[in-house]
Amino acid sequence: MIPRTTLPILFLVGLPALGQVSFPDFSDPAGLALNGSSATVDNGIDPAPVLRLVPAVDLGGNGGSAFTSEMVCVKGFSCFFEFRIGASGGFPDPNGEPGGDGLTFTIQGVGANALGWLGGGLGYGGLTPSIAVEIDTWQNPGQDPDSNHVGIDADGDLVSLAAAGVPGRFDDGNLRSVWVDYDGVLLEVRVSDTGVRPAVATLARIVDIPGVLGSEAGFVGFTAATFGAYGDHDIVSWSYQGTCGNLTIDGCDTGVENLLFTGGIQLSDLVNACAAQATTHGGFVSCVASLTNGLKQAGILTGRQKSAIQSCAARANLP
Ligand SMILES: [Ca+2]
Ligand SMILES: [Ca+2]
Ligand SMILES: [Ca+2]
């Protein structure tokens, strides 16, 4: 039961987004927006339903995406997913091998229903603002270094910030594991066909994801597309744990996660609103006290967290 005194705050911000994504399989895709050709299917290979972004049909172009229906924290994260690209066919790549075009893991500020260009656009082309990790299986002239690589892309541009060729074929129907880790500075990508996390990153690049998105929160998920070349592009499992970092007040680190609420509102936005409406320091401290008392009563903050925030507010040179 939520105490009546906290209802205005909860009405304003809703409950905190969990910021955690966990799909051991896709038997229940609740919490995901499925766009374009995306669907959950039984692929006849894996033991449970998978997320099929695009099917292996030659219709002159298919695109699909799946994103979290609510924003999650992206200031730092650990992400793991497994993919299987099979039934490859159609117009061969410059190596003479069938299959295309590939998929991306994307972090974006466009919306849950975002879907970009088809074919070599990987369902990602044109999505701004965004950062993506691409799994590319078809060399597009002037765009790609080869026909089997991973890349780190920004703002829907398929010319990667950095790319690394990977031996073999991602679209040979075998299961691949991908780890994407971001510590707030360095984005690291690891790809394995054994399920064992490689010690050394396959690809790494310094990227300011909150800077690119203009936010510590974004929609995360996958895109894929085909054109003359095609294949079943399946995500078999996915987990994502994100953080928005700590709430700081006028440079004072509260040690409390800068919580993300429904609609993209963060704890820092609520504290900033107190600073904006207060005319005196006492008024600011009182506003933050009222806010944090309500959040504690709602079970969103612990007593220790409430005290830490109030302590920083008292020391802040605000408003
Ligand atoms: Ca290929
Ligand atoms: Ca390509
Ligand atoms: Ca590429």
- Per-residue tokens: 45: 């290979």
Burial of 276 from C-beta contacts in 10 A (0-12 / 13-18 / 19+): exposed
Name which of 43, 63, 221 is nearest 132 in CA terms.
221
pLDDT at 159 over 80: yes
Could you tell me the distance, in angstroms and rounded to a whole number, from the CA of residue 281 to the centre of ligand 3? 53
Could you tell me the distance, in angstroms and rounded to a whole number, from the CA of residue 229 to the centre of ligand 1? 9
Span 107-113, average pLDDT? 98
Write out the chain in H/E/C secondary structure.
CCCHHHHHHHHHHCCECCCEEEECCCCCCCCEEEEECCEEECCCCCCCCEEEEECCCCCCCEEEEEEECCCEECCEEEEEEEEEEEEEEECCCCCCCCCCCEEEEEEECCCCCCCCCCHHHCCCCCCCCEEEEEEECCCCCCCCCCCCEEEEEECCEEEEEEEEECCCCCCCCCEEEEEEEECCCEEEEEEECCCCCCCCCCEEEECCHHHHHCCCEEEEEEEEEECCEEEEEEEEEEEEEEECCEEEECCEEEEEECCEEHHHCEHHHHHHHHHHHCCCHHHHHHHHHHHHHHHHHCCCCCHHHHHHHHHHHHHCCCC
Angle at 32 between CA 26 and CA 33, to 5 degrees: 125
pLDDT at 293 over 80: yes
Span 232-250, average pLDDT? 96
The residues placing their C-beta within 5 Å of ligand 1, an ion, are: 93, 97, 137, 147
Span 138-147, average pLDDT? 96
Q: Which ligand minimizes its atom distance to the CA of 93? A: 1
Span 263-282, average pLDDT? 93
Name which of 100, 111, 139 is nearest 224 in CA terms.
100
Name which of 294, 295, 297, 289 is nearest 316 in CA terms.
289
Specify whether the CB–CB gap between 72 and 218 falls below 8 A.
yes
Span 290-314, average pLDDT? 95
What pLDDT, on the 0 to 100 scale, is given for residue 3?
A: 37
What pLDDT, on the 0 to 100 scale, is given for residue 6?
A: 42
Span 102-114, average pLDDT? 98
Specify whether the CB–CB gap between 225 and 200 falls below 8 A.
no
Span 194-222, average pLDDT? 97
What pLDDT, on the 0 to 100 scale, is given for residue 35?
A: 98
Q: What is the pLDDT of residues 97-106, one digit of tens each?
A: 999 999 999 9
Q: Is the dihedral of CA 277, 278, 283, 289 positive or negative?
A: positive
Q: How confident is the model at residue 9 (pLDDT cuts 50, 70, 90)?
A: low
pLDDT at 59 over 80: no
Q: Which ligand minimizes its atom distance to the CA of 150? A: 3
pLDDT at 4 over 50: no
Distance of alpha carbon 177 from alpha carbon 234, whole angstroms: 12
Could you tell me the distance, in angstroms and rounded to a whole number, from the CA of residue 163 to the centre of ligand 1? 15
- Per-residue tokens: 258: 């800068």
Could you tell me the distance, in angstroms and rounded to a whole number, from the CA of residue 274 to the centre of ligand 2? 49
Q: How confident is the model at residue 7 (pLDDT cuts 50, 70, 90)?
A: very low
Distance of alpha carbon 149 from alpha carbon 191, whole angstroms: 10
Summary mean pLDDT of the chain: 93
Span 209-217, average pLDDT? 95
Could you tell me the distance, in angstroms and rounded to a whole number, from the CA of residue 94 to the centre of ligand 1? 8
Q: How confident is the model at residue 13 (pLDDT cuts 50, 70, 90)?
A: low
What pLDDT, on the 0 to 100 scale, is given for residue 18?
A: 56
Domains and CATH numbers, the chain: 4-14+246-315 (no CATH), 31-243 (2.60.120.200)
Q: Which ligand minimizes its atom distance to the CA of 120? A: 2
What pLDDT, on the 0 to 100 scale, is given for residue 139?
A: 98
> How many CA atoms within 13 Å lie on the side-chain side of 251?
4
Cα distances (angstroms) measured from residue 216 to each of 40, 94, 157: 29, 40, 21
Q: What is the pLDDT of residues 64-73, one digit of tens each?
A: 999 999 999 9
Span 202-219, average pLDDT? 96
Could you tell me the distance, in angstroms and rounded to a whole number, from the CA of residue 92 to the centre of ligand 1? 8
Q: Is the dihedral of CA 284, 13, 155, 248 positive or negative?
A: positive
Span 153-164, average pLDDT? 98
Span 9-22, average pLDDT? 63
Span 6-11, average pLDDT? 48
Using the structure block, give the residue that is written with the tokens 């429904």.
262
What pLDDT, on the 0 to 100 scale, is given for residue 27?
A: 97
Specify whether the CB–CB gap between 48 and 29 falls below 8 A.
no
Distance of alpha carbon 65 from alpha carbon 115, whole angstroms: 6
Span 116-122, average pLDDT? 97
Range of lowest pLDDT (12-26, 130-144, 277-291): 12-26
Q: How confident is the model at residue 48 (pLDDT cuts 50, 70, 90)?
A: very high
What pLDDT, on the 0 to 100 scale, is given for residue 144?
A: 98
pLDDT at 60 over 80: no
Task: Say what percent of the chain tops pLDDT 70.
Answer: 94
